[in-house]
Amino acid sequence: MKENKFLNVRFLPLLLLVMVVLIAASFWFVSPVAAQDGTGDEPSNAACLSCHAEASTPMELPNGELLSIQISVDNFGKSVHGRNEVSCVTCHVDISGFPHPENDAATIHEYKVGYLDTCAECHEEQASQTQDSIHGMLLAEGNTNAPTCMDCHNPHTQPFVDEVSKATFAQVCAQCHNGIYEEYSNTVHGSALINEGNQDVPGCVDCHGVHSIADPTTAEFRNSSIYMCANCHTDESIMGKYGISTDVLDTYVADFHGTTVTIFEETEPGQLTNKAVCYDCHGIHDILSVNDPNKGLAVKENMLAACQKCHPDATTNFPDSWLSHYRPDREKFPLVYYVDLFYKILIPTVLGGMAIFVLSDVYFRLRKRFQKPAAESVSESKDVEKE
Ligand code: HEC
Ligand code: HEC
Ligand code: HEC
Ligand code: HEC
Ligand code: HEC
Ligand code: HEC
Ligand code: HEC
Ligand code: HEC
Ligand code: HEC
């Protein structure tokens, strides 16, 4: 009885200690990852990289696709995650030793989709935006060509986005939209970005957004596209460098098309307009300098071709009556200028003259009525004499 009690009280803590040590030791020996790590807590990057830095045999997925499992120590170290101490196992939570648990993804796309929740844990904002975007919707519908986070950001090599140039972002899109990229790269915007590294011109994401890319075929997108262009094109600090007019929005809004589109926006948002917006005349992924001989809009035939898309009966002199982006100007549009000026002078003169006439008429009539009959007759006879 006494012995039993002694055992319970004195040996129980010791027994527990021995058990804990044994369990820890068994982990130490069973898991090669933990063994190389030494801390025993969670496997270090070095432990994983001891195999993955060299792993030259790719893994074959059930559909036959090959997944390279080699991870460069150097690139990972320089990546934004490597530098911010996001370790291998923070993302690969289910992997602690070798052999790894079975991964049942049949394709590379499926394999990547399996990690979407992992990214969302630390980047919630981008994840929820992406989910509502056109790409996210396609992904949810099961479109296997739609991009996951990993198609645009390699988790093992991604740098800080500030260290990435706009031109590189465009190449990210080009992986899947190469036709548009090719077309864009020959434009006034694209060639400046790709050939000269000019950061003032729009890349794909300046016009489309990044994680919240919308369907560009909707009425909202079309109606608001004017401001997408105007954001830059009304900015004197950008346009001054290129000698490009910043009047293009105001003159557009003053024009028949623009007036209609902007009124439309206010009264019937969400209705598709058939009036011209900037890109109907200038193009989208094929915008050129207005002086380009083959397509530039300052060349009359090219302008006419642009009008004919919607005004099929337009003839050579059709655009003559149209001010383009010009305010009425004496040199460029003398007729319009003088007509404008004429009305500017004529209308105030006519209205002002009428007002003076009416007021003086009222004044004389009132005076007539309240003047004494005697004085009246005298003044009247005087007036008659004068005439
Ligand atoms: C002993 C060598 C070895 C070590 C250590 C090792 N791996 Fe692997 N890993 C492999 C091999 C081999 C494959 C190929 C597929 C397979 O056989 O499971 C692989 C596949 C993978 C894959 C792709 C397949 C999957 O299951 O998702 C990931 C991710 C991975 N390892 C992550 C890790 C991480 C994280 C660590 C560190 C905790 C690690 N590995 C440690 C050898 C190793
Ligand atoms: C920020 C999260 C994150 C970190 C940190 C990370 N991985 Fe990955 N890893 C992923 C994702 C997501 C995938 C699957 C998608 C892909 O292939 O890009 C992946 C895929 C892999 C694969 C399969 C082959 C491949 O490239 O698709 C291996 C092997 C792997 N990781 C090993 C590692 C090792 C080793 C480390 C640490 C040095 C590490 N990972 C760190 C997120 C991460
Ligand atoms: C279609 C390509 C694409 C997809 C898909 C994508 N990104 Fe991005 N992401 C980019 C580009 C390009 C930038 C740089 C944007 C910039 O700075 O203008 C960026 C920037 C970021 C940034 C930096 C902060 C910011 O918002 O600018 C984070 C974090 C990020 N992405 C995480 C994610 C996550 C998480 C996912 C998946 C839910 C994801 N991205 C999906 C292209 C993409
Ligand atoms: C454990 C948290 C964690 C996870 C999981 C994670 N990241 Fe990150 N990520 C970070 C940290 C920390 C940074 C650096 C600081 C920052 O931007 O918040 C970073 C930075 C980034 C950046 C650059 C942001 C910038 O401002 O330049 C991108 C892009 C990115 N992560 C994408 C991803 C993708 C894609 C995944 C999924 C594979 C992922 N991350 C998973 C923590 C995480
Ligand atoms: C991994 C492939 C992939 C990448 C990378 C990618 N996209 Fe997409 N994107 C798609 C697919 C697939 C569609 C569906 C329509 C299609 O087939 O063209 C789509 C649709 C779109 C649409 C809507 C098209 C429509 O007709 O409704 C826009 C806009 C778009 N992407 C812009 C971008 C931009 C900008 C980038 C770069 C930041 C980008 N995409 C990167 C695959 C990708
Ligand atoms: C100057 C602004 C601008 C730039 C730069 C731009 N886009 Fe667009 N994009 C648009 C507009 C406006 C539309 C809508 C066209 C329509 O109504 O048909 C569009 C449509 C699209 C579409 C869907 C329709 C189609 O033609 O298939 C995709 C995909 C797309 N853009 C991808 C890209 C990619 C990739 C880049 C970069 C190489 C890019 N865009 C650069 C303005 C731009
Ligand atoms: C109905 C067709 C049409 C619409 C709509 C239109 N433009 Fe123009 N745009 C032209 C023509 C034509 C020219 C060439 C004028 C000239 O130099 O003779 C031009 C010239 C320009 C120029 C060059 C100006 C310069 O200083 O060289 C810019 C920039 C421009 N437009 C931007 C825009 C923007 C932004 C919008 C929308 C807010 C827009 N355009 C709407 C037809 C149009
Ligand atoms: C991010 C800013 C930005 C956005 C957005 C933008 N542009 Fe531009 N655009 C520029 C800059 C900068 C130039 C001058 C490039 C150069 O000459 O190297 C330019 C040049 C032009 C030119 C050539 C003018 C000339 O010299 O003949 C036209 C036309 C034009 N843009 C139309 C548009 C239209 C239409 C849109 C909208 C669909 C648009 N731009 C959106 C910055 C922008
Ligand atoms: C995207 C289609 C589109 C393009 C491109 C376009 N317009 Fe129009 N325009 C319209 C519509 C729609 C109306 C309204 C017609 C109506 O109500 O009868 C209109 C009306 C007009 C009007 C006033 C009404 C009239 O018929 O006299 C003029 C002037 C005009 N456009 C000139 C031009 C010129 C010049 C160009 C080429 C530089 C051009 N438009 C390009 C769609 C377009």
The tens digit of pLDDT for each residue in 44-53 reads: 999 999 999 9
Most confident of 13-22, 109-118, 324-333, 365-374: 109-118
Over range 276-301, report the average pLDDT.
Answer: 93
Pick the more confident residue, 16 or 261.
261
Pocket probe mutation, ligand 3, options 128, 153, 180, max atoms within 8 Å of Cβ: 153
CA distance 76 to 51: 14
Which ligand minimizes its atom distance to the CA of 92?
1
Q: Which residues are CB-neighbours of 379 under 8 A, at least 6 positions away?
A: 371
Q: Are 54 and 70 in contact (CB under 8 A)?
A: yes
Which ligand minimizes its atom distance to the CA of 307?
9
CA distance 335 to 313: 24
Count Cβ neighbours within 10 Å for each residue of 48-58 and write b for 16 or more, e otherwise.
Answer: bbeebeeeeee
Among 46, 65, 44, residue whose Cα is nearest residue 54: 46
* pLDDT surpasses 80 at 32: no
Q: Identify the pLDDT of residue 226.
A: 92
* pLDDT surpasses 60 at 381: no
Over range 31-37, report the average pLDDT.
Answer: 40
Among 49, 52, 30, residue whose Cα is nearest residue 40: 30
Q: Are 81 and 158 in contact (CB under 8 A)?
A: yes
Instruction: Please indicate whether residue 169, judged by its CB atom, sits closer than 6 Å to ligand 3.
Output: yes
Which ligand minimizes its atom distance to the CA of 304?
9
What one-letter code names the amino acid at 348? Answer: P
Chain centroid, CA 111 distance in Å: 28
Pick the more confident residue, 253 or 39.
253
Q: Identify the pLDDT of residue 273.
A: 83
Among 162, 155, 197, residue whose Cα is nearest residue 71: 155
At 321-334, the pLDDT tens digits run 777 787 766 666 66
Among 214, 215, 212, 216, residue whose Cα is nearest residue 130: 212
Instruction: Please indicate whether residue 155, judged by its CB atom, sits closer than 6 Å to ligand 2.
Output: yes
Q: Identify the pLDDT of residue 323.
A: 75
Maximum distance among all alpha carbons in the chain?
153
At 99-152, the pLDDT tens digits run 999 999 999 999 999 999 999 999 999 999 999 999 999 999 999 999 999 999
Which residue CA neighbors atom 20 of ligand 3 most closely?
161
Pick the more confident residue, 332 or 65.
65
Q: Identify the pLDDT of residue 39.
A: 47
